[in-house]
């Protein structure tokens, strides 16, 4: 076949074709994608979603806006969770990983770039006439649906990144709720110790007055001093514990300043949970670890299909004009090449992905067993704490309160000494502290079980309400 092309004409046709193959980047992704995930966590972003977002500076700045405490004078657990979900750096890091996975999903499905080659033969002849020059455009054609299969593997990676993002929401929410319960319980213990310090100081003053009046001995006054000093030490310990609990809560929220002011939730508000069987059922149905394990099985299957497809070689086709200077004519060169899978048939990768596929199936069973074990442990703690709470409310607390009231009446009537009143007060404080411990244990177990079931996301409603209010 003979076609009449001048070499410059051939270059003029090929070079624009090459430069036109490189389009714009899939999207200019910024913090708007993070905002998209936070605002719509049930519909995580894809590449098309990111392209549709407005990436102007005002939207990007809005993604970084600070979230202050929006409370009625006190911080609640859900306020703390909402702030943590919005401000925690781990959420932002995982959101960027979702964007990276989305970009790789787009990249995996792109065709190979064409290549341009120039070949010159017998150039610079002394006879004054050159040899032959060829301008070849080569294109590799991917076979066996490898692009689609690679895109499917990348899609599984994106789904995994999204699942990890959503799982981190519940992880942060659980940790914040646990730290919040610790802080509230620490506040209650500090208040109880202050009551004991006040009473101990009152009894010490009474003991000193009785000793001065000759109605008490020095040993009784010393006993009152020891009790008052011990109460002061216990109060200092309780205050340190309270400060540490609030610092841990601030760290869990993701802020770098201490939390001042009251904490709004009441420990007496008992958490209500379904029975153990239902908790297990909900956990195995909704927990993100189950979704991640199932996605791992799907990804392993897709990777195995891709490995088998990679055993089929791709085809490379070349076409371009060849100009012969001695004959002053231009011809068209056409060629095709394909690798011969004589040695490398990707057999190692096929075997490896098959093993990973079987391993992923076994991992799902392991995840289920681990979740059932975690539910059993937390449920045991929850049931024990609830039984302890019921026992204290039914018997121990009323008896200690009644004993303290009767002893106080007897002391004021002069029918008993202050040591018995002190013992009654200490018994009452110990009962109250043990009751606080049981309430704290019940709330801790409930927070862990809620984190395992992953059934409620009230912080998302708070985000939506806040944005509606701001708009």
Give the chain's count of helices (H) and strands (E): 14, 4
Residue 59 covered by a domain: no
Do the domain assignments include residue 46? Answer: no
**Which residues on neighbouring strands pair with residue 336, listed in sequence order?**
317
pLDDT tens, position by position, 45-94: 444 444 443 333 333 333 333 334 444 467 888 888 888 888 778 888 88
Please indicate, yes or no, if residue 164 is contained in any of the structural domains.
yes
Prediction pTM value:
0.73
CATH label of the domain that carries residue 238: 1.20.1600.10
In the numeric block, the tokens 């013992």 are attached to 423
In a domain, 97, yes or no: yes
Distances (CA, A) of 271 to 174, 386, 394, 465: 14, 9, 18, 25
- Total structural domains in the chain? 1
The answer as to whether 7 is a domain residue is no
Give residue 230's domain range: 76-110+142-311+346-465
- Report, as ranges of residue numbers, the positions in the chain whose pLDDT lies below 50: 1-31, 33-34, 38, 41-72, 463-471
Domain assignment present for residue 57? The answer is no
- For residue 207, is it within any domain? yes
**What is the predicted pLDDT for the residue at 7?**
41
Check: CB of residue 260 under 8 Å from CB of residue 243: no
CA distances from 408 to 107, 376, 424, 451 (A): 79, 45, 9, 46
- CA–CA distance, 33 with 48 (Å, rounded to integer): 11
CB 138 within 8 Å of CB 202: no
pLDDT of residue 6: 43
């Amino acid at each position: 076949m003979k076609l009449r092309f001048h070499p410059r004409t051939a270059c003029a046709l090929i070079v624009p074709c090459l430069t036109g193959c490189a389009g714009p980047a899939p999207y200019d992704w910024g913090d708007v994608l993070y905002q998209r995930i936070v605002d719509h966590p049930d519909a995580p972003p894809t590449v098309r979603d990111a392209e549709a977002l407005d990436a102007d500076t005002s939207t990007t700045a809005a993604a970084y806006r600070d979230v202050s405490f929006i409370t009625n004078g006190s911080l609640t657990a859900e306020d703390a969770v909402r702030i943590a979900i919005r401000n925690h750096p781990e959420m932002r890091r995982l959101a960027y990983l979702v964007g990276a996975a989305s970009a790789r999903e787009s990249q995996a499905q792109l065709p190979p770039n064409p290549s341009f080659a120039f070949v010159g033969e017998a150039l610079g002849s002394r006879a004054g006439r050159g040899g032959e020059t060829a301008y070849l455009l080569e294109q590799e054609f991917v076979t066996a649906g490898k692009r689609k299969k690679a895109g499917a593997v990348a899609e599984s990676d994106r789904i995994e990144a999204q699942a990890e993002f959503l799982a981190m929401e519940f992880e942060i929410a659980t940790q914040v709720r646990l730290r919040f319960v610790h802080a509230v319980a620490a506040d209650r213990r500090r208040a109880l110790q202050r009551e004991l310090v006040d009473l101990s100081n009152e009894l010490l003053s009474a003991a000193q007055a009785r000793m001065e009046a000759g109605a008490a001995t020095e040993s009784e006054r010393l006993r009152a001093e020891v009790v008052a000093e011990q109460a002061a030490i216990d109060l200092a310990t309780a205050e340190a514990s309270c400060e540490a609990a609030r610092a841990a809560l601030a760290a869990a929220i993701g802020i770098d300043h201490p939390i001042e002011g009251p904490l709004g939730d009441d420990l007496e508000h008992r958490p209500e949970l379904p029975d153990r069987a239902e908790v297990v059922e909900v956990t195995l149905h909704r927990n993100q670890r189950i979704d991640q394990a199932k996605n791992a099985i799907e990804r392993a299957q897709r990777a195995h299909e891709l490995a088998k497809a990679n055993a089929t070689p791709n085809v490379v086709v070349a076409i371009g004009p060849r100009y012969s200077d001695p004959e002053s004519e231009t011809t068209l060169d056409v060629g095709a090449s394909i690798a011969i899978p004589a040695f490398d048939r990707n057999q190692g990768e096929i075997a490896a992905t098959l093993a990973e596929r079987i391993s992923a199936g076994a991992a799902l069973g392991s995840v289920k067993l681990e979740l059932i074990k975690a539910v059993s442990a937390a449920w045991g703690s929850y049931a024990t704490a609830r039984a302890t709470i019921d026992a204290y409310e039914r018997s121990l607390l009323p008896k200690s309160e009644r004993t303290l009231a009767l002893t106080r009446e007897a002391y004021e009537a002069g029918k008993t000494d202050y040591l018995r009143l002190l013992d009654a007060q200490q018994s009452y404080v110990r009962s109250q502290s043990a009751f606080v411990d049981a309430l704290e244990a019940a709330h801790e177990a409930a927070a862990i079980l809620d984190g395992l079931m992953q059934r409620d996301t009230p912080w998302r409603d708070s985000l939506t309400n806040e944005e509606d209010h701001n708009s």
